[in-house]
Homo-oligomer: A and B are copies of this chain.
Amino acid sequence: MTEPIYNRVALIGLGLIASSMAHAMCANGLAGEIVGHAQSAETRATALEIGICDRVCGTAAEAVMGADLVVLAVPVGVMGDVAAMIGPHLKPGATVTDVGSVKQAVIDAVSPHIPKAVHFIPGHPMAGTEYSGPRSGFATLFQNRWWLLTPLPDTDAEALVKLRSLLEAMGANVDTMDAPHHDLVLAVVSHTPHLIAYTMVGVADDLRRVSNSEVIKYSATGFRDFTRIAASDPTMWRDVFLSNKEATLDILGRFTEELFALQRAIRLGDGAHLHDYFTRTRAIRRGIIEAGQDTAAPDFGRGAPPATKA
């Protein structure tokens, strides 16, 4: 058995990310003890029942006492409140990190509550599924996924190395960048796509000329992938858009501009414009497969691999 990286880890919030971290830490012996807190008594009971925590506490303040690593795994909108509650109870020398999808807003909300003797290293694991809650976690969620850290100018180098080693031991690839750049990149690769998927699914639901049962029956290609994205946790996503407002509105503006150009090409029957555009986007897909972020296996939506050809 290897030595644990942190003697005591406190998970504040016990949803998909925290429960996956618990599974990954247990599976690899990375934490001496895992203490958990969730606002809901039901979630705390579930966490004990499925064994993702050694102990659960009724308050976040109690959970962080004596912890060497504190992970804030709550919606971005309540990070500040949670930080205010735990601040006075943090152990000197401890590290606090978070898993929020937006970084600058979290830094602004959390930093003022972190004592001088505690290391705050903001983070964002770029992994997830469309499920949420303590039962949705699994040990391999972070394997070969990026975990972005946005350290502050005065971040302690040793604390950073230690946190990084934990994340890598859970299978993640770790990168560091500054918070504003993180928020822009995420607006492009995640936040705006989610908003668009939500919108399209909402439009389909609104239409009375096409029945809901038709939308559901005939979702085979295209719409089905949008509904998967649009099934993500509503509270988390509300907070993401409200706290990454500027970058999201910026990218949305670019998106609308581009969409209007394609719409105009359709209206005018400009097939060459459409064909060129669609050829260019196809190449990006190849880049993603080559980077190992998806498989090249054809997806026809039901998990079953297509039969091998003779």
| Chain A residues proximal to chain B, CB less than 8 Å | 23, 50-51, 77, 126-131, 135-141, 144-146, 148, 175, 184-186, 188-207, 209-210, 212, 214-232, 234-235, 237-239, 241-242, 245, 248-249, 251-252, 254-256, 258-259, 262-263, 266-267, 269, 271, 274-275, 277-282, 284-288, 291, 293-295, 297-310
Supposing A199-B255, A293-B301, A298-B136 touch, asked if A146 and B231 sit within 8 A by C-beta, the answer is no
Cα distance A40–B298 when bound, in Å?
24
Supposing A221-B128, A291-B216 touch, asked if A310 and B51 sit within 8 A by C-beta, the answer is yes
Closest chain B CB from A234 CB (angstroms): 4
Out of B145, B256, B275, B305, name the residue touching A259 (CB < 8 Å). Answer: B256
Cα distance A231–B288 when bound, in Å?
11
Out of B186, B230, B258, name the residue touching A202 (CB < 8 Å). Answer: B258
26 A-B pairs with CB atoms under 8 Å apart are A50-B310, A51-B310, A126-B218, A138-B307, A138-B308, A146-B218, A188-B215, A189-B223, A190-B220, A192-B200, A195-B266, A202-B277, A202-B281, A203-B258, A206-B258, A216-B288, A219-B293, A222-B229, A224-B294, A230-B281, A230-B282, A237-B274, A238-B274, A242-B266, A249-B267, A295-B301
Residues of B with C-beta under 8 A to A190:
218, 220-223
Closest chain B CB from A179 CB (angstroms): 15
Residues of B with C-beta under 8 A to A266:
195, 241-242, 245, 248-249
Out of B186, B192, B220, B275, name the residue touching A127 (CB < 8 Å). Answer: B220
Closest chain B CB from A5 CB (angstroms): 21
Most buried by B among A203, A235, A256, A280: A203
Closest 10 CB pairs of A and B: A129-B298, A231-B285, A234-B278, A193-B222, A138-B306, A230-B281, A201-B281, A189-B223, A190-B222, A126-B220
Closest chain B CB from A17 CB (angstroms): 12
Residues of B with C-beta under 8 A to A191:
222
Cα distance A46–B77 when bound, in Å?
56
